[in-house]
Amino acid sequence: MNISSQENNQSTLSHLDSDGDITMVDVSGKTATTREAHAVGQVRFPSEIYTQIKAADGMTKKGSITQTAHIAGIMAAKRTHDLIPLCHPLPLDKIGLSFEYDDASHSISVSATVKVTHKTGVEMEALTAVSVACLTIYDMTKALSHDIVIDGVRLIKKTGGKSDYQHK
């Protein structure tokens, strides 16, 4: 990226100050509102591994992959500020995760919804919950194959705050 492109982007990136230095966003002047974010991702398996996992209802020698991933996702959302340097610590009101087997893509789809009433949003918490849940599924199943792919982690929707967002 050339210097002029960097200068143009600095005015739109919230974590850069007017000098281009990294900064935590000052939310002290914002109004606390109810904010919610929904993120998704998936863990894709080779077809024979997917069939084996589904036939065992997600149970492995380590335990249930979805129950373990569910707990991991909740814990990760609560600790997002410890993982992402400029995130604010938030008193989360709700963290919900769901898991769905998808026979067409040989995958487990992961969905997370995070809610807070605060001065800043929870997009990063929802994305972190999905990411760590997917990583946990990978960890729980990697003994079966390393040809497992985590993909499609993205924000689907956010409400509250300055603007709403809906993935198209």
Return the CATH number at 48.
3.30.70.640
Query: Would you state the torsion angle of the CA atoms of residues 65, 67, 70, 72, taken in this order, to the nearest 10 degrees?
Result: -70
Among 87, 97, 79, CA closest to 118: 87
* DSSP for residue 89: P
CA-closest candidate to residue 98, choices 156, 48, 166: 156
Please give the DSSP secondary-structure letter assigned to residue 155. Answer: E
pLDDT for 13: 66
pLDDT tens, the chain, 168 aa long: 344 444 444 446 676 777 777 777 878 888 899 999 999 999 999 999 999 999 999 998 889 999 999 999 999 999 999 999 999 999 999 999 999 999 999 999 999 999 999 999 999 999 999 999 999 999 999 999 999 999 999 999 999 988 899 998
Give binding residues for substrate as ranges: 86-88, 124-125
Q: Classify residue 51: in a domain, yes or no.
A: yes
Q: Two tokens at 96?
A: 């919900």
User: How many folded domains does the chain comprise?
Assistant: 1
Span 146-159, pLDDT tens digits: 999 999 999 999 99
Dihedral sign, Cα of residue 44, residue 47, residue 53, residue 55: positive
Binding site listing? 86-88, 124-125
User: Which residue spans within 85-160 are E strands per DSSP?
Assistant: 94-102, 107-118, 149-159
Please report whether residue 131 resides in a domain.
yes
Domain assignment present for residue 24? The answer is: no
Is 26 within a domain?
no
Please tell me the predicted confidence (pLDDT) of residue 146: 96
Alpha-helical segments (H) within the chain: 3-10, 47-55, 65-78, 80-83, 123-141
Secondary structure element (H or E) that encloses residue 163, with its range = none
Distance of alpha carbon 104 from alpha carbon 7, whole angstroms: 45
- Taking the C-alpha atoms of residue 132 and residue 113, their distance in angstroms, rounded to an integer, is 14
Catalytically active residues are 139
Q: Do the domain assignments include residue 9?
A: no
Residue-number span of the structural domain to which 70 is assigned: 32-162
Q: Is residue 81 part of a domain?
A: yes
Residue 16 within a domain: no
